[in-house]
């Protein structure tokens, strides 16, 4: 493997590195394009807990849409809590306001006993649709997100995976 790497000319090595950079930048542009199209900063999320079972299992990959601002009771939304970085996937159980007033929502996990007021930021009794909601769930793929969960729970796996991808790109011949 190292002999293959050393047999590459500087030009070929540079071409392989640029190829790898092109793959990464294309993935980034696709993510940003999807963010613009869905009007969501995070158009795809992974379910991290069992709070929405049986609707969604841990590891399900969810697709979000944030273009409609009239969220209904029963709709599943993803929201961020101020001061925390982990998105939460729960169902809307109550709505307040709307029309001329800002739409405010109360959420609850299907597998939870109580509503989410304990999860919200201190002093917050409900979510404001326009500022707290990342998007509404419009589709999902079961269990595909387990890769993300494994990479989050075992950071060394990220390094190994990126290293293997880099080696494969550099050693690939055209």
pLDDT in the model for residue 120: 92
Written as six digits, the tokens of 84 are 């925390």
Q: Specify whether the CB–CB gap between 149 and 48 falls below 8 A.
A: yes
Tens digits of per-residue pLDDT, 65-78?
A: 998 878 999 999 99
pLDDT at 3 over 80: no
Q: Specify whether the CB–CB gap between 8 and 16 falls below 8 A.
A: yes
Grade residue 32 by pLDDT with cuts at 50, 70 and 90.
Answer: very high
Written as six digits, the tokens of 131 are 């500022």
Mean pLDDT for 24-51 is 94
Mean pLDDT for 121-125 is 89
Active site residues: 51, 90, 116
């Amino acid at each position: 493997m190292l002999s293959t790497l050393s047999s590459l000319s500087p030009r070929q090595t540079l071409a392989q590195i640029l190829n790898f950079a092109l793959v990464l930048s294309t993935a980034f542009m696709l993510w940003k394009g999807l963010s613009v199209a869905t009007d969501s900063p995070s158009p795809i999320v992974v379910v991290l807990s069992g709070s929405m079972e049986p609707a969604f299992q841990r590891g399900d990959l969810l697709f979000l849409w944030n273009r409609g601002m009239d969220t209904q009771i029963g709709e599943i939304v993803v929201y961020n809590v101020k001061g925390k970085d982990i998105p939460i996937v729960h169902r809307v159980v109550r709505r307040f306001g709307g029309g001329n007033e800002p739409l405010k929502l109360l959420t609850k996990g299907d597998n939870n006993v109580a509503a989410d007021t304990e999860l919200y930021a201190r002093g917050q009794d409900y979510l404001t649709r326009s500022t707290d909601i990342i998007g509404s769930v419009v589709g999902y793929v079961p269990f595909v997100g387990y890769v993300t969960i494994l990479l989050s729970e075992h950071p060394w796996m990220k390094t190994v995976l990126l290293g293997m991808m880099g080696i494969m790109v550099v050693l690939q011949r055209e």
